[in-house]
């Protein structure tokens, strides 16, 4: 059994895993790129080793180097986090071949679920419903895809075979626009995954994205921890998640049915460790298997908040060969949790990524608030990695309390130096459709605009005008009247003049 | 000092009277205004009410983020305002549009050529940053000129990539 864990990741998730290891009394080894020398995961870990230059392929994707460092440092296990090497079966296999534990599923399960065609065939055979599409028919040419498209029906989705995270994905409304979209999707897939193969899938309209968290130990116990609602997305990137789902709500029968199907899907690939089964759910409560994420999810904290289960600790426990710490009948969902992904993106400028030094940061705290982050004042957000800078999670006894708490926490949060999507989340919290739980995966792109949201609320133009004028006034230095004390103009004449006015 | 401050259709006449008194449209207010730790976060106490906002300077003027709402603000002093009014209002916009990289990144492709006619909304450059491909579009119709980048180039923030004249 291992007592030292290497974390093959960076950012907030590396910090999250480090915390679990610390609480379990395990020693920790961090790895880092040249851009991350001062990152929080390097500062928190017991040991830290340089991988290489900033680009991922030279650092966090260097599986060979990571295994070498694990062996040299005496780490007995590797936790991959999410992204990077987390869903690479060859890496998981190499870890096992080196005599180390991989804190995640078996390579065979990663491979089975990583190839979407195999995944669909496997779960379909186990009686799990799947969305109609060309997956499982191999790499098809544009001509073949164009021929098959009308059979599936429009609208449909073009998706990258090797994909994930929305890259290489396009919505097609009709046959005429399809050739151009195929080209764009293949180009993006090629750039992101080195594999330009794509497949078609029927677009389930009005669909919600609801996923089930599962845990499986090596002794054959498989349980689910209920669902997460992840329908608030933009360009297929999740922005906000909650548990439970407002759509499933009180329908305990639906929750258990989805949970059982998820457990069945996991068992179909002999799954071990934590995983997530993603479903598309239509308005009639039909649900279809979308894919399985064979790793820890970004949004795992909402499930932790409502179930009280520490999923990362459970992962480590499983990797040590121990049984799960709870049974299905012990799982209870308590209250409501919401997570906002705080990204370095400007919501007023088409969510353009923003880079730079975090000059100032004030985190929200207080009852029911959790912040998972990898940045701090002075840290530079670089263009090399994704734009997630923190996750803000709140827990309340009801959904209404959670929303009000999230509003309060977003108001408290101050980040200076990069633009963030906090104003987007604030507008979302004020949206009547969001409050009523009436949204699907198209909501953000089709029904939500920052400008309309700004128009719809009580505004303070006079205060805004006054503040901008005071700043402009300060900046032009036409006067030193209104200025922070320790920044006062040093002109003695002005001081004398003011002194005289006061004592007149 | 008197300023004419505009937000959309609304115009405010704001006069800075002294250290802690300003007049907004003639109404005198007692204000306490400080920058917090470092710009651009500012705190304003006015008649006992506390406000905090991010205030950024932009190419077009000022941007105020206050209680989750963004306000684009123009501030001109009285003299400048009179001058602009006298010259028929507004500065004449330069005809050339220079596409600057909004962030550091990798040029994925440049789907336009030198001399090519483009419409507003046409994609000029596809730039990859933070694992996302961003399509940078032309704000207006014109002719592409001075293409300074090609696919595979790394660009710095603010670097001019091409122009539309």
Where among B55, B86, B117 does a domain terminate?
Answer: B86
In a domain, B105, yes or no: yes
B108 close contact with A: CB closer than 8 A: yes
Contact A479 B70 (CB under 8 A): no
The partner residues of B51 in beta bridges, in order of sequence, read: B44
Residue B138 has pLDDT above 50, yes or no: yes
Within a 10 A sphere around the Cβ of A399, how many other Cβ atoms?
A: 18
Where among B86, B120, B144 does a domain terminate?
Answer: B86
- DSSP 3-state assignment of A63? helix
Nearest CA in chain A to B40: A416
Chain A contact set for B27 (CB, 8 A): none
**Distance set, CA A481 to CA A47, A233, A249, A474, B56 (Å):** 52, 47, 57, 8, 21
Helix H or strand E encompassing A148: helix A142-152
Question: For residue B40, what is the domain's CATH number?
Answer: 3.30.700.30
> How far apart, in whole angstroms, are the C-alpha atoms of residue A105 and residue B51?
51
Residue to test with chain A: of B48, B52, B69, most A Cβ within 10 A: B69
Same domain, B8 and B61: yes
> How far apart, in whole angstroms, are the C-alpha atoms of residue A114 and residue A291?
9
Interface predicted TM-score of the whole assembly (ipTM), two decimals: 0.72
Structural domain range at position B45: 2-86
Nearest CA in chain B to A454: B69
B75 close contact with A: CB closer than 8 A: yes
Chain A contact set for B31 (CB, 8 A): 466, 470, 482
Number of domains in chain B: 2
Query: Taking each helix axis from N to C terminus, what angle separates A399-412 and A422-430, rounded to the nearest 10 degrees?
Result: 150
Nearest CA in chain B to A191: B108
Position A478 scores a pLDDT of 44
In a domain, B92, yes or no: no
Chain B contact set for A487 (CB, 8 A): 35
Tell me which residue of A360, A175, A339 sits closest to B54, measured CA to CA.
A360
Instruction: Give the residue-averaged pLDDT of A419-424.
Output: 94
Interacting residues of A124 by C-beta distance below 8 A, sequence separation 6+: A130, A289
Q: For residue A134, what pLDDT band results from cuts at 50, 70 and 90?
A: confident
Same domain, B104 and B155: yes
In a domain, B39, yes or no: yes
Same domain, B56 and B104: no
Handedness of CA A205, A208, A212, A213 (dihedral sign): positive
Instruction: Give the residue-averaged pLDDT of A419-428.
Output: 94
> How far apart, in whole angstroms, are the C-alpha atoms of residue A293 and residue A230?
14
Mean pLDDT of chain A: 91
Chain A contact set for B39 (CB, 8 A): 416
Contact B3 A348 (CB under 8 A): no
> How far apart, in whole angstroms, are the C-alpha atoms of residue A207 and residue A442?
8
Nearest CA in chain A to B131: A386
Same domain, B81 and B107: no
* Ranges assigned E (strand) in A405-487: 414-416
Position A475 scores a pLDDT of 82
Residue to test with chain A: of B42, B52, B64, most A Cβ within 10 A: B64
Chain A contact set for B46 (CB, 8 A): 463, 466
Question: For residue B111, what is the domain's CATH number?
Answer: 2.40.50.100
Tell me which residue of A37, A102, A28, A36 sits closest to A63, measured CA to CA.
A102
End-to-end alpha-carbon separation of chain B, Å?
40
Contact B69 A459 (CB under 8 A): yes
Same domain, B26 and B71: yes
How far is Cα of residue A177 from the mean position of the Cα atoms in its chain? 31
Same domain, B45 and B109: no
Same domain, B49 and B78: yes
Nearest CA in chain A to B38: A360
In order of their start, the domains of chain A are 4-103 (3.40.50.20), 132-202 (3.30.1490.20), 208-455 (3.30.470.20), 468-502 (no CATH)
Q: For residue B88, what pLDDT band results from cuts at 50, 70 and 90?
A: low
Chain B contact set for A410 (CB, 8 A): 68
Same domain, B81 and B101: no
Same domain, B7 and B81: yes
Where among B53, B86, B119 does a domain terminate?
Answer: B86
Chain B contact set for A359 (CB, 8 A): 38
Residue A405 has pLDDT above 70, yes or no: yes
* Cα of B108 to nearest chain A Cα, Å: 9
In a domain, B29, yes or no: yes
Q: For residue B90, what pLDDT band results from cuts at 50, 70 and 90?
A: very low
Contact A457 B66 (CB under 8 A): no
The minimal CB distance from B35 to the residues A350, A450, A484 is found for: A484
End-to-end alpha-carbon separation of chain A, Å?
81
Q: For residue B132, what pLDDT band results from cuts at 50, 70 and 90?
A: confident
In a domain, B91, yes or no: no
Percent of chain A with pLDDT over 70: 93
Position B69 scores a pLDDT of 82
* Cα of A495 to nearest chain B Cα, Å: 12
Burial A213-246 (b: 16+ CB within 10 A, else e): bbbbbeeeebbbbbbbbbbbbbebbbbbbbbbbb
In a domain, B6, yes or no: yes
Chain B contact set for A192 (CB, 8 A): 131
Tell me which residue of B42, B38, B31 sits closest to B65, measured CA to CA.
B42
Same domain, B11 and B81: yes
Position A372 scores a pLDDT of 98
Contact B130 A430 (CB under 8 A): no
The minimal CB distance from B68 to the residues A384, A386, A426 is found for: A426
In a domain, B147, yes or no: yes
In a domain, B21, yes or no: yes
Give alpha helix (H) positions in A415-460: 422-430, 432-435, 443-447, 450-455
Q: For residue A192, what pLDDT band results from cuts at 50, 70 and 90?
A: confident
Q: What is the pLDDT of residues A269-295, one digit of tens each?
A: 999 999 999 999 999 899 999 999 999
Q: How many residues does chain B have?
A: 165
Cβ atoms A65, A52 nearer than 8 A: yes
The minimal CB distance from A188 to the residues B66, B68, B133 is found for: B133
Q: Which of residues 84-103 of B touch A (CB under 8 A)?
A: 102-103
Same domain, B101 and B155: yes
Q: By mean pLDDT, which of A92-101, A104-113, A261-270, A480-489 is the weakest?
A: A480-489
Q: Is A433 a catalytic residue?
A: no
Burial A118-145 (b: 16+ CB within 10 A, else e): ebbebbeeeebebbebbbeeeebeeeeb
- HEC string of B106-151 equals EEEECCCCCCCEECCCCEEEEEEECCEEEEEECCCCEEEECCCCCC
- How many interchain CB pairs under 8 A, A with B? 166
Contact B134 A352 (CB under 8 A): yes
How far is Cα of residue B126 from the mean position of the Cα atoms in its chain? 22
* Cα of B155 to nearest chain A Cα, Å: 11
Q: For residue B39, what pLDDT band results from cuts at 50, 70 and 90?
A: low
Same domain, B129 and B67: no
Position B121 scores a pLDDT of 85
Q: Which of A186, A228, A255, A295 is catalytic?
A: A295
């Amino acid at each position: 059994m291992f007592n030292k864990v290497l974390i093959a990741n960076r950012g907030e998730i590396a910090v999250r895993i480090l915390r679990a290891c610390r609480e379990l009394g395990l020693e920790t080894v961090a790895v880092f790129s040249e851009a991350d020398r001062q990152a929080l995961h390097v500062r928190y870990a017991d040991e830290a080793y340089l991988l290489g230059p900033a680009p991922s392929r030279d650092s966090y994707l260097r599986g060979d180097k990571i295994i070498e460092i694990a062996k040299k440092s005496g780490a007995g296990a590797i936790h991959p986090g999410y992204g990077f090497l987390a869903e690479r079966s060859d890496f998981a296999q190499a870890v096992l071949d080196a005599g180390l534990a991989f804190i995640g599923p078996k390579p065979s399960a990663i491979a089975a679920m990583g190839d979407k065609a195999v995944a669909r065939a496997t779960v379909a055979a186990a009686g799990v419903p799947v969305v109609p599409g060309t997956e499982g028919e191999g790499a098809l040419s544009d001509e073949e895809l164009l021929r098959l498209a009308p059979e599936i029906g429009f609208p449909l989705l073009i998706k990258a075979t090797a994909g994930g995270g929305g890259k290489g994905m396009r919505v097609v409304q009709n046959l005429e626009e399809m050739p151009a979209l195929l080209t764009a999707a293949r180009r993006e897939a090629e750039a992101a995954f080195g594999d330009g193969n794509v497949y078609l899938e029927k677009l389930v309209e009005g669909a919600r994205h609801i996923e089930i968290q599962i845990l499986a130990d090596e002794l054959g116990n498989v349980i689910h921890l209920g669902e997460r609602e992840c329908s608030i997305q933009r360009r297929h990137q999740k922005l906000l998640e909650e548990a439970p789902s407002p759509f499933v709500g009180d329908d305990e029968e639906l929750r258990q049915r989805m949970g059982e199907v998820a457990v069945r899907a996991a068992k179909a690939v002999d799954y071990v460790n934590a995983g997530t089964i993603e479903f598309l759910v239509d308005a009639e409560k039909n649900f279809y298997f979308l894919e399985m994420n064979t790793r820890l999810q970004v949004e795992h904290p909402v499930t932790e908040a409502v179930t009280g289960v520490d999923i990362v600790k459970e992962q480590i426990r499983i990797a040590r060969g121990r049984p799960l710490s709870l049974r299905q009948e012990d799982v209870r969902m308590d209250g409501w949790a919401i997570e906002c992904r705080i990204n370095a993106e400007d919501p007023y400028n088409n969510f353009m990524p923003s880079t730079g030094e975090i000059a100032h940061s004030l985190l929200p705290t207080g009852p029911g608030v959790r912040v998972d982050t990898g940045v701090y004042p002075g840290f530079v957000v670089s263009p090399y990695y994704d734009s997630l800078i923190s996750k803000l999670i709140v827990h309340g006894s009801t959904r209404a309390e959670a929303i009000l708490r999230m509003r309060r926490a977003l108001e408290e949060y101050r980040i200076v130096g990069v633009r963030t999507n906090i104003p987007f989340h604030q507008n979302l919290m004020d949206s009547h459709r969001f409050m009523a739980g009436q949204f699907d995966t198209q909501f953000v792109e089709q029904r939500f605009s920052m400008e309309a949201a700004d128009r719809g609320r009580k505004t303070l133009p006079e205060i805004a005008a006054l503040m901008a004028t005071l700043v402009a006034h300060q900046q032009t230095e036409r006067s030193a009247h209104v200025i922070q004390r320790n920044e006062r103009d040093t002109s003695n004449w002005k001081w004398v003049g003011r002194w005289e006015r006061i004592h007149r | 000092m008197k300023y004419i401050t505009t937000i959309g259709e609304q115009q405010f006449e704001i006069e800075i009277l002294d250290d802690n008194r300003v007049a907004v449209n003639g109404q005198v207010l007692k204000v306490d205004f400080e920058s917090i730790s470092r710009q651009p976060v500012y705190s304003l106490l006015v008649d006992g009410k506390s406000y905090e906002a991010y205030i950024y300077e932009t190419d077009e003027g000022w941007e105020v983020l206050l209680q989750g709402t963004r306000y684009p603000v123009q501030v001109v002093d009285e003299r400048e305002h009179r001058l602009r009014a006298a010259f028929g209002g507004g500065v004449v916009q330069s005809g050339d549009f220079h596409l600057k990289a909004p962030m550091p990144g990798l040029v994925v492709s440049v789907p336009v050529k030198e001399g090519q006619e483009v419409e507003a909304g046409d994609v000029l450059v596809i730039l990859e940053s933070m694992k996302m491909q961003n399509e940078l579009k032309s704000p207006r119709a014109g002719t592409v000129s001075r293409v300074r980048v090609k696919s595979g180039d790394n660009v710095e923030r603010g670097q001019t990539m091409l122009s539309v004249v």
